[in-house]
Amino acid sequence: MQQDVWGLISPGKTHLTANRTESVERAMSILSAFSTQRPSMSLAELAEETGLHKSTILRLTNSMDIYGFIRRDKDGRFSVGPSVWRLGLIFRRDFTKREHVAPSLKILVEATGETASFYVRNGNERICLYRENSPNLLRFHVEEGMRLRLSTGASGLVLSHFSGEDVGDLSKFNKNGTASSVGHTNPNISSIATPVFDGSGNLMGALTVSGLVNRFDEEARANAIPLLESLARGLSSG
C-alpha cells in the first residue's frame, strides 16, 4: 500500500500548492483507479490502489456521488457513475468524431485482418479511444477506453515522440513518423502506428494496427504501412 501523502493535509481544508488543489487531485486519483479490467472496487481495494485513507475516500466519494461521478452498490463496491460517461461522450465529440475515424479503422481491418485502433494520450498513459477488432479468433483484443502505458507499443512511441519527448532509438520510426514495435507491450504482439494531426499541426492521436507476431510479421507490417499513412493523412486533412 502506498503512503497516504494526503494524510498530512487537514481533512476540513482545501490545500493549495503551486496552483494545485489537492482535494481535487485526490478525487481524480479515485476516478483514475478504475479501468476496464477493474470496473468496480471495494473500499479496501480503492485504498490500496490510491494510497488514500479509507475515511478520505468515503468523504470524497460521498461528494462525487452527488454529482454522479461515483456509485456505490448495496455490497459497498464502488464504480464510476454516469457523469463520467457523459463527459466521455463530450470529449469524443469534440476531440475527433467516431464517424470520422471509424471508416479508416474498418478499412485497416479489412486490408490487414488485424485489430485497428485510435489512441490518444492522457498523461503518462495512452487510451484506446476507438477500435475495430480483428475478425480472427486469435487476435489482439482491445477495448475502447482501455488504458495502457505510454512507454510501450508503437502507439506509445508515436504519442511520446510527437509530444516532444525523447524516445531514444529513432530507428523504430520511418521517414514519415510511423513506428513499428514487436513484443513491446506483449511478447506475442506486433504493431505499427502513425501520427494524426489536426489542421493546425497539433497531435490528435495515433492510428494503429496490432496483431499476432507470427501473422503480423515484418512483411505484413511493411505492406500495411502505406495504407496506414494514407488514412492518417486523410484524417488529418478531414
Contact partners, residue 214, CB within 8 Å, separation at least 6: none
Q: Do domains 5-86 and 96-237 have the same CATH topology?
A: no
Q: Where are the alpha helices (DSSP H) in 67-213?
A: 82-95, 98-112, 153-161
- Residue 87 pLDDT: 77
Q: What is the pTM of this model?
A: 0.62
- Architecture of the structural domain at 96-237: 2-Layer Sandwich (3.30)
Q: What is the pLDDT along the chain (238 residues), one digit of tens a residue?
A: 333 333 333 333 444 445 667 888 999 999 988 887 788 999 999 999 999 999 999 999 999 999 889 999 999 999 998 888 777 666 655 556 677 899 999 999 999 999 999 999 888 889 888 999 888 776 666 678 888 888 889 999 999 999 999 888 888 899 999 999 998 777 888 999 999 998 778 888 999 999 999 999 999 999 999 999 999 999 886 6
Classified as helix, coil or strand, 19 is coil
Residue 83 grid cell: 457523469
Burial environment of residue 156 by CB neighbours within 10 A (0 to 12, 13 to 18, 19 or more) = buried
Q: Check residue 238 and give its pLDDT.
A: 61
Task: Give me the pLDDT at residue 5, please.
Answer: 34
Check: CB of residue 42 under 8 Å from CB of residue 61. no
Query: Side chain identity at 70, as an amino acid letter?
Result: I
pLDDT at 191: 94
What integer pLDDT is reported at residue 170 of this predicted model? 86
Rounded Cα–Cα distance for residues 193 and 75 (Å):
42
Assign domain 5-86 to a CATH class.
mainly alpha
**Dihedral sign from CA coordinates of 62, 64, 66, 72:** negative
| pLDDT at res. 85 | 76
Contact between 22 and 15 (Cβ < 8 Å): yes
Nearest C-alpha neighbor of 185 from the set 220, 223, 155: 155
> Domain extents for the chain?
5-86, 96-237
